[in-house]
Amino acid sequence: MRALLPLLLLPLLAACGKGDGQPAEPEQALSAKPALSVSLVTPQQQEWPRILEANGNIAAWQEAAIGPEIGNLRLTEVLVNVGDRVQKGQVLARIASATVAADLAQSKAAVSEAEALLAEAVANGDRARKYQETGFLSAQQINQYLTAEKAAHARLNAARARLQADAVRMAQTTVRAPDAGVISSRSATVGSLAQPGVELFRLIRGGRLEWRAEVSASELGKLKAGVPATLIAPNGARVQGRVRMVAPTVDPKTLNGLVYVDLPRGAGDALRAGSFARGEFELGQAPALVLPQSAVLLREGFAYVFRLEGKDRAALMKVAQTKVTLGRRLGDRIEITGGLDPTAQVVASGAGFLADGDIVRVVNAPARQ
């Protein structure tokens, strides 16, 4: 009887073994409550622009330092200020001209006097030449008249040269813009003593600015004159430019080269010379495997998507967290450069609420982008 007791207990123990501690069948796993209701997307192949990003400074295309050409005279009037747009030849400042005007008047009088003396000398010379054959005048007298005529010509030329010099000095008492542009700095003040070589104004020629982008030596070969560029101004505005020149040398310390980008007129409304700007160069088109940015989860410095696994069972499916590598961004789309099969189906949004292995309820078919 005791020997039969274990045999009688075996069915009872087997029945107790099918309680809550028993592992769930695969079919039962999908019957668990889903973590989230999701929609799906599939990666799409699209033609995207190839972009080279760079940083650099905004600078004046060319700057002209404007100073007086006459010295030891005081400024009497300053007509422009920083930021003013000026035209070529426009008056920027005036210098005291009374002394120069007096010298100019004296030079004019000297010219008039020299012209009168020349007229007399020419008349005497003509008479001398007339009487040269008759012997009425001696050879010495004739020579004196002819020499006086030549001297009168020389004195008149010298007087005219002094007059021209004084006229130039008079013109120099007015400081004019050598070209059209924008005044970028001003040190001129009324009453200060003007000295040659001392800067009064600085002019951005034509108001033109350029972006001097720093590009690594390995990337310089991708750029050439005419390549379009887009700058992002500090206020968020996007300014279009075009490469004018790629520097022929590279800085041996940073191994970067400069790329000079011409900016359109009016760029000064969003950009300022001397400021820092970031931008990008457009290097043509290249295929890209893209997803909406909402499908990508950034976590601990890595990028992940949640890929569907298994077969559809009553719209309940399991997701697997998959690590991917990212590339270019365009609007609300992002390029996937590795880690994901092009035919995979991934969760379109809400990835931040999921974990690896979660069960989700699919509410739509894979969406086309």
Are 167 and 229 in a shared domain? no
Beta bridge mates, 321: 306
The CATH code of the domain that includes 193 is 2.40.50.100
pTM metric for this prediction? 0.62
**Position 353 confidence tier, pLDDT thresholds 50, 70, 90:** confident
Q: Do 165 and 223 have their domain in common?
A: no
Q: Which CATH number do you get for residue 236?
A: 2.40.30.170
For the ranges 7-16, 181-190, 320-329, the lowest mean pLDDT is seen at 7-16
201-205 sheet: strands from edge to edge? 63-66, 201-205, 181-186, 85-86
**Does 11 score more than 50 pLDDT?**
no
Q: Looking at the structure, do residues 83 and 128 belong to the same domain, yes or no?
A: no
Which token pair is 161?
A: 């040269």
The answer on pLDDT for 169 being more than 90 is: yes
Do the domain assignments include residue 19? no
- The CATH number of whichever domain residue 302 belongs to comes to 2.40.420.20
Could you tell me the residue range of the domain that residue 109 belongs to?
98-172
Predicted confidence band at 137 (pLDDT cuts at 50, 70, 90)? confident
How many structural domains comprise the chain?
4
Percentage of residues in the chain having pLDDT higher than 90? 47
State whether residue 128 is helix, strand or coil: helix
Same domain, 254 and 319: no
pLDDT at 49 (0 to 100): 82
CA 230 to chain centroid, in Å, comes to 8
188 and 157 within one domain:
no
Query: Is 2 part of a structural domain of the chain?
Result: no
Average pLDDT over every residue of 202-227? 91
Does residue 212 contact residue 238 with C-beta atoms inside 8 Å?
no
- Per-residue pLDDT of 238-253, as tens digits, reads 899 999 999 999 999 9
Q: Find tokens 């920083």 and name the residue.
A: 82
Q: Clarify whether residues 260 and 139 are in a common domain.
A: no
Residues 67 and 116 in one domain: no
Q: Considering the domain boundaries, does residue 271 fall inside one?
A: yes
Query: Are 195 and 214 found together in one domain?
Result: no
Residues with Cβ within 8 Å of residue 321, at least 6 apart in sequence: 304, 305, 306, 354, 355, 356
